[in-house]
Amino acid sequence: MEETPHRRRAHTRSRDLERYAGLFAARTGVMRSSAMRDLMAVTARPEVISLAGGLPDTSTFPASTFAAQMTRIAQESTAEALQYGPTEGFAETVDCILEVMGAEGMLPDPDDVIVTTGGQQAIDLVCKTLVDPGDVVICEAPTYPGAVPVFCSYQAETIQIECDGDGMRIDELEAVLERLDSEGRRPKFVYTVPSFQNPAGVTMSLERRRRLVELARLHELLVVEDNPYGLLRFGGEPLPPLYQLDGGDFVIYIGTLSKILSPGIRLGWAVAPPPVMEKIVLGKQASDLCTSTLTQHFVREYFGEGRWREYIADLVEIYRGRRDVMIEALREHFPAQASWTEPQGGLFIWATLPEYIDTSDLLAKALREDVAFVPGQAAFVDEGRGRNSMRLNFSGVGDEEIREGVRRIGKAIAEQVDLYDALTVENRPEDSPGMPQGSPGMPGREAEDMPADVKTKPSSGPGHDLIPPGPDEGAVLPFRRKEGTA
Amino acid sequence: MLKGGRSLERGVSLRSGARVEDALERLGHEPLPIDAGGDLVKRLVAEQPDVVFVAMHGPGGEDGTVQELLEILGLPFTGPGVAACARCIDKVLAKHELRGDGVPTPDWFAFNETAFRELGAADALGELEQRLGFPLVVKPSRGGSALGVKFAASWFEVPEALVSAFSYDERVLLERFVEGRELAVSVLGGEPLPIVEAIPGDGDRYDFEARYEIGRTGFACPAELGEAEAAAVRGAALGAYAALGCSGFSRVDLILGQDGPQVLEVNAIPGLTDTSLLPQAAEAAGMSFEQLVEKILELALKPAAA
């Protein structure tokens, strides 16, 4: 690498910046998040225990199986595996997809299926097909963090509906639909991850699923059901997907093999009614012509072996154990004021902290202890929401790391809780004394920990040193504990 | 070429480093990029470079730590020395120095966590309203960019802002909010470069996000200022540069309020990314990025030239 000269472009000068800025599409103005990217750059350090990822465990996938399958592809299908394929995907890939959907009781028409480059592309294509700037899109609060930049890049007006333990609050959705109706507006679609939601870990109840499908029919609006985790259930009874309840008239279904086989193969799909599918196919053609044919061959080989259900069963066992470990660790190390979801499947737990804790700042503190999570803000379109929440992943790291990671985050939170208590009056004794004169640790007296050659001048001028109030002027503080912080 | 490291500004540092490295190659040097980690000293000893370009930001690379190591190893390096770095990174210490030298800086109080946890400092916060007024700015003493900086519009918001700021450092300052134009003066070898003004878009505060995202913040360089105003701003910047003992290069951030310029902070090693202010200021002075890098190297090798 070091041998290659000038592999980087020249420094961008400020007039170039202006020129580019003048060329940017309006939608780039609403694309977000470099602060988060910069914090995430630190989470990539190898010593960091990352509970921030959404990574499935791929370590148990047998290397010999992988090698045998790829060899077979090379021996039997080189030409086809290296060639372009149909935009909709190979029929054989669709057969595999039907098998997976069948495992959850869905029986779509193969012609309604398109193979995509991961589920993420399916979200993008659905938006590309349906959303004009300013159109209303409805989703959960919190929603899948990866959907936020997609909605933003299509300049949707995104409305997020609160979730509780039974998933999206359908009563709130109804109220929003009514309000929009009275304004003469109709949302383009309702995006939901009904099972083991990312990031909240909650699952929409059967009753709410039925009601959502009814509402979709009533208002003739589309529901986009994103279901990456449906087969990763470790507890409770399976629930029918919205697609099955609706029959596919008003539900666009998005699936992926990322969590049940491999995210690296980038294989997902969408199922949509024919008129919508026609446009999605055109969109896909414009985006990347077709999904990797090599990947599709791999999928065909893998499903041909007929062991995919066993592999999922193995994953489910691993994740069940890790979820238990994480919940146990949360009970031990998180403060009493914190709450969290206890998912019956999937990869994530959503924890909510006292309102005064901003988890982006907490992340900075946690990173000093070499542990990372996703700040809740990432799951909201409006800046400011979700600030006291976090997403914790339990699928990507082992038991010991989960315990240690949660312990470190818990310690950082406990320090913040203690500090807040010290800062608010209600928790303080009534007769708490004013600060004594000459207390150590105040500015101007802290030079001991600086390098020896740093000189500290005596401070001068008014108002820049903490001068403690005398006993008679002990300030009455208007600080109050924020409401509802428990 | 030292870059990266463990600070929260690692990402910015990697971008600064990549730009500098490329310029060094174009200038015909042989840069050896090192992502500062556990093997830093070993590698420096093994490689024995002619000069070390420090493109690190935040604690570790910008606070005198790396500089101290380089002094021990006897290697010349770019940017300010140990003492100046240590003063600049610590806003509280820096403000004491500035006040001591008569350089204007907004009024402030500083606290460390112990004061609140063990000494009941919350009871002293009542003084704040009279002394500083609202809104006020709460920031970690050490920490680059705008990470952990919060505005408190009233008493009610102070505890929360303190909890945030203490996430970055065990010492925080509460500073009088000064309304005015946001200016930056980069100083290169003791000479001020043209003044840059940051013009936040969409009523955004000039925050961390805006700082590093093309198109989020508008910049004017040179800033449109009257001659007397510009002279006062340059004077304050040079005063700050001298008060903190900087050498090589640094960037002074100021607010130009009703009562003239007030120095907010001095960045010992300012960013050198595509959107950074020092390269923009150099360009306005007619220097290409390569010329800027060459000049910084010269200053490192011949400190007397500063």
Shared domain for A218 and A268, answered yes or no, is: yes
Residues 6+ apart with CB under 8 A from B207: A35, B146, B149
Interface of A with B in 29-58 (CB under 8 A): 29, 32-35, 37-39, 41-42, 45
Sort strands A371-372 and A49-50 into parallel, antiparallel or unpaired: parallel
Identify from A13, A14, A413, A450 which residue to disrupt to test chain B contact, counting B C-beta atoms within 10 A and taking the largest count. Answer: A14
A453: pLDDT strictly greater than 80: no
d(CA B295, CA B276) in angstroms, rounded, equals 17
Cβ contacts of B97 on chain A, cutoff 8 Å: 456-457
Shared domain for A297 and A281, answered yes or no, is: yes
Span B221-251, pLDDT tens digits: 899 999 999 999 999 999 999 999 999 999 9
Residue B297 near residue B49 (C-beta atoms within 8 A): no
Lookup: tokens for A14: 């400020």
Interface of A with B in 358-397 (CB under 8 A): 358, 361-362, 364-365, 367
Q: How far is B116 from chain A (nearest CA, A)?
A: 6
Q: How far is B28 from chain A (nearest CA, A)?
A: 10
Residue linked to tokens 């993420």 = A120
Cβ contacts of A41 on chain B, cutoff 8 Å: 10-11, 14
Shared domain for A174 and A198, answered yes or no, is: yes
Shared domain for A265 and A376, answered yes or no, is: no
Contact B158 A454 (CB under 8 A): no
Q: Is A331 on the interface with B (CB under 8 A)?
A: no
Q: What is the CATH number of the domain that holds A396?
A: 3.90.1150.10
Span A472-481, pLDDT tens digits: 333 333 343 4
Q: What average pLDDT does this structure show over A67-84?
A: 91
Q: Which of B100, B165, B279 sits opposite A457 (nearest CB)?
A: B100
d(CA A437, CA A224) in angstroms, rounded, equals 64
CA pseudo-torsion sign A20, A21, A25, A30? positive
CA end-to-end distance (rounded Å), chain A:
54
Cβ contacts of A443 on chain B, cutoff 8 Å: 92, 96, 110
User: Would you state the pLDDT for residue A14?
Assistant: 57
Q: What average pLDDT does this structure show over A415-439?
A: 60
Q: Is B295 on the interface with A (CB under 8 A)?
A: no
Interface of B with A in 94-133 (CB under 8 A): 95-97, 99-101, 107-117, 119-127, 131-132
Shared domain for A296 and A350, answered yes or no, is: no
A96: pLDDT strictly greater than 50: yes
Q: Which of A424, A456, A475 sits opposite B159 (nearest CB)?
A: A424
Q: How far is B226 from chain A (nearest CA, A)?
A: 23
Cβ contacts of B198 on chain A, cutoff 8 Å: none
Residue A268 lies in a domain: yes
d(CA B172, CA A435) in angstroms, rounded, equals 17
Q: List C-alpha distances in Å: A42 to A368, A486, B211.
A: 10, 31, 18
Contact A418 B117 (CB under 8 A): yes
Q: List C-alpha distances in Å: A281 to A70, A155, A272.
A: 28, 22, 11
Q: Does residue B63 have an active-site annotation?
A: no
d(CA A48, CA A40) in angstroms, rounded, equals 11
Residue B147 near residue B8 (C-beta atoms within 8 A): yes
Cβ contacts of B6 on chain A, cutoff 8 Å: 42, 45
A77: pLDDT strictly greater than 80: yes
Q: Is B153 on the interface with A (CB under 8 A)?
A: no
> How many of the other CB atoms lie within 10 Å of CB of A295?
20
Can you list the alpha helix ranges (DSSP code H) found in B184-248?
208-212, 227-243
Q: Partners of B77 in the beta sheet?
A: B52
Letter for the amino acid at B91? K
Q: What are phi and psi of B252, to 5 degrees?
A: -105, 125
Contact B119 A435 (CB under 8 A): yes
Q: Give me the percent of chain A exceeding a pLDDT of 70.
A: 80
Q: Is B83 on the interface with A (CB under 8 A)?
A: yes
Q: Is B3 on the interface with A (CB under 8 A)?
A: no
**Confidence tier at A460 by pLDDT (50, 70, 90):** very low
Identify from B1, B118, B164, B283 which residue to disrupt to test chain A contact, counting A C-beta atoms within 10 A and taking the largest count. Answer: B164
Lookup: tokens for A342: 């206890």
Residue B292: strand, helix, or coil: helix
Residue A129 lies in a domain: yes
**Confidence tier at A59 by pLDDT (50, 70, 90):** confident
DSSP character at residue B175: E
Convert A419-448 to b/e letters by CB count within 10 Å (16 or more is b).
bbbbbbbeebeeeeebbeeebebbbbebee
Q: How far is A321 from chain B (nearest CA, A)?
A: 32
Residue A276 lies in a domain: yes
User: Would you state the pLDDT for residue A466?
Assistant: 35
Contact B119 A29 (CB under 8 A): no
Cβ contacts of B170 on chain A, cutoff 8 Å: none
Q: Considering the candidates B13, B141, B145, B247, report the single residue annotated as catalytic.
A: B145
Residue A277 lies in a domain: yes
Q: What average pLDDT does this structure show over A459-484?
A: 35
Q: Which of A12, A416, A432 sits opposite B120 (nearest CB)?
A: A432
d(CA A483, CA A193) in angstroms, rounded, equals 31
d(CA A216, CA A267) in angstroms, rounded, equals 28
User: Would you state the pLDDT for residue A42?
Assistant: 72
Q: Is A23 on the interface with B (CB under 8 A)?
A: no
Residue A206 lies in a domain: yes
Residue A77 near residue A286 (C-beta atoms within 8 A): no
| Lowest pLDDT segment from A279-288, A336-345, A430-439, B46-55 | A430-439
User: Would you state the pLDDT for residue A18?
Assistant: 62
The answer to ipTM > 0.85 is no
Q: Does residue B9 have an active-site annotation?
A: yes
Q: Does residue B267 have an active-site annotation?
A: yes
Q: Which of B87, B219, B283 sits opposite A454 (nearest CB)?
A: B87
CATH 3.40.50.20 fits B2-75, yes or no: yes
- Domains B2-75 and B87-104+179-305 fall in the same CATH topology: no
Please give the residue range of the domain that contains residue A344.
25-59+310-422
Q: Which residue, B87, B263, B91, is CA-closest to A456?
A: B87
How does the average pLDDT of chain A come out, rounded? 84
Q: From B158, which residue of chain A is nearest by alpha-carbon distance?
A: A479
Q: Which of B32, B117, B124 sits opposite A469 (nearest CB)?
A: B124
Residue A168 lies in a domain: yes
User: Would you state the pLDDT for residue A397?
Assistant: 92
DSSP A1-56: -TTSTT-SPPPPPHHHHHHHHHHS-GGGGG---SHHHHHHHHHTSTTSEE------
Domain ranges of chain B: 2-75, 87-104+179-305, 108-176
Span B25-65, pLDDT tens digits: 999 999 999 999 889 999 999 999 999 999 999 888 999 99
Look at the domain B87-104+179-305 and name its fold.
D-amino Acid Aminotransferase; Chain A, domain 1 (3.30.470)
Cβ contacts of B23 on chain A, cutoff 8 Å: 11
Shared domain for A81 and A194, answered yes or no, is: yes
Q: Is A476 on the interface with B (CB under 8 A)?
A: yes
| Lowest pLDDT segment from A60-69, A88-97, A227-236, B112-121 | B112-121
User: Would you state the pLDDT for residue A459?
Assistant: 36
Residue A432 lies in a domain: no
Q: What is the CATH number of the domain that holds A243?
A: 3.40.640.10
d(CA B142, CA A76) in angstroms, rounded, equals 62
Q: Considering the candidates B169, B212, B234, B247, report the single residue annotated as catalytic.
A: B212
Contact B14 A41 (CB under 8 A): yes
Can you list the alpha helix ranges (DSSP code H) found in A247-398?
274-288, 293-304, 308-333, 359-368
Residue A187 lies in a domain: yes
Give the DSSP H or E segment for A119.
Answer: helix A118-130
Q: Which residue, A468, A390, A479, A353, is CA-closest to B152?
A: A479
Q: Does residue B145 have an active-site annotation?
A: yes
A11: pLDDT strictly greater than 90: no
Domain boundary among the residues A291, A306, A321 is at: A306
Shared domain for A223 and A333, answered yes or no, is: no
Cβ contacts of B68 on chain A, cutoff 8 Å: 451
Residue A343 near residue A136 (C-beta atoms within 8 A): no
Residue ranges in chain B whose pLDDT is less than 70: 144-145, 201-217, 303-306
d(CA B251, CA A255) in angstroms, rounded, equals 51
d(CA A263, CA B169) in angstroms, rounded, equals 38
User: Would you state the pLDDT for residue B75?
Assistant: 96
d(CA B238, CA B41) in angstroms, rounded, equals 34
User: Would you state the pLDDT for residue A203?
Assistant: 97
Domain boundary among the residues A422, A450, A480 is at: A422
Domain boundary among the residues A378, A400, A422 is at: A422
Cis bond before residue B222 (omega within 30° of 0): yes
Shared domain for A284 and A330, answered yes or no, is: no
Q: What dihedral do alpha carbons A424, A428, A431, A434 form, nearest 10°?
A: -50
Q: Which residue, B249, B203, B266, B255, is CA-closest to B233?
A: B255
Residue A200 near residue A193 (C-beta atoms within 8 A): no
Q: List C-alpha distances in Å: B170 to A297, A314, A416, B65, B91.
A: 56, 46, 12, 18, 13
Contact B289 A13 (CB under 8 A): yes
Please report how many Cα atoms fall inside a 13 Å half-sphere around the Cα of residue B214, on the Cβ side: 18
Give the DSSP H or E segment for A148.
Answer: helix A148-153
User: Would you state the pLDDT for residue A428?
Assistant: 42
Lookup: tokens for A182: 């009275």
User: Would you state the pLDDT for residue A463?
Assistant: 35
Shared domain for A168 and A186, answered yes or no, is: yes
DSSP B86-117: HHHHBHHHHHHHHHHTT-----EEEEEHHHHH
d(CA A319, CA A398) in angstroms, rounded, equals 10
Cβ contacts of A482 on chain B, cutoff 8 Å: 156, 160
Q: How far is B234 from chain A (nearest CA, A)?
A: 22
Higher-pLDDT residue of A16, A143: A143
Residue A228 near residue A244 (C-beta atoms within 8 A): no
Shared domain for A98 and A246, answered yes or no, is: yes
Residue B137: strand, helix, or coil: strand
Shared domain for A292 and A347, answered yes or no, is: no
Q: Which of B26, B32, B115 sits opposite A439 (nearest CB)?
A: B115
Domain B108-176 top-level CATH class: alpha beta
Shared domain for A244 and A130, answered yes or no, is: yes
Q: List C-alpha distances in Å: A57 to A70, A258, A259, A299.
A: 20, 10, 9, 18
> How many of the other CB atoms lie within 10 Å of CB of A251?
25
Residue linked to tokens 């609202």 = B134
User: Would you state the pLDDT for residue B201?
Assistant: 63
DSSP character at residue A472: G
Sort strands A222-226 and A189-192 into parallel, antiparallel or unpaired: parallel
User: Would you state the pLDDT for residue A439?
Assistant: 33
